[in-house]
Amino acid sequence: MKCPRCGSELKTTEIMDHHILSCDSCNGMWLHRYQLNELLHDMADGVGDFETISVEYNPDEERLPEITCIECGDVQMNKINFLEYSDIIIDHCPRCGSIWLDKDELAKMEEYTRKIDEGSKEVKDHSLYAFMQRLGELAYSLFK
């Protein structure tokens, strides 16, 4: 398969026992549906469905051009904001659920989710946090 960003050949890479497609030229990576959840859960001990709770984003001025899904072929990928306020804009296929991460976006996500997790441990009243955590677990189990 060809890289949707630069056209170079993608190769299979292993990250924490997960096989993903990556590009040596632009350092992007292709994730199939739910692989992002699995990677972030392994890296940051996260709970919940990160893919489902990320929001659609329609930027006025995009940093990188739009790309086409390499699995669906004819589907333009949407720009979505990872976890609403992160300002980490990723490419998501609305048909198959695959995700394209540009260089360093996975590391930024890991850092962002780690900060959220650290902040949640400082909260005195954990009832809302426990509710949201359980809701995330439920969503992840339903869409897995």
In this predicted model, what pLDDT tens digit does every residue of 2-59 receive, in sequence order? 999 999 999 999 988 889 999 999 999 999 998 988 888 776 555 556 666 565 655 5
What confidence category does residue 113 fall into, taking pLDDT thresholds of 50, 70 and 90? confident
Domain ranges of the chain: 11-143
Q: State yes or no: pLDDT of 125 exceeds 60.
A: no
pLDDT reported for residue 64: 79
* Separation between Cα atoms, residue 51 and residue 39, nearest integer Å: 11
Task: Scan for tokens 């709970």, then name that residue.
Answer: 47
* Separation between Cα atoms, residue 134 and residue 144, nearest integer Å: 15
pTM for the full predicted model: 0.74
Q: With contact defined as beta carbons under 8 Å apart, do 75 and 69 qualify?
A: yes
Q: Output the six-digit token pair for 116.
A: 């959220």
pLDDT reported for residue 129: 62
Report the number of secondary-structure helices (H) and strands (E) in the chain. Answer: 4, 7
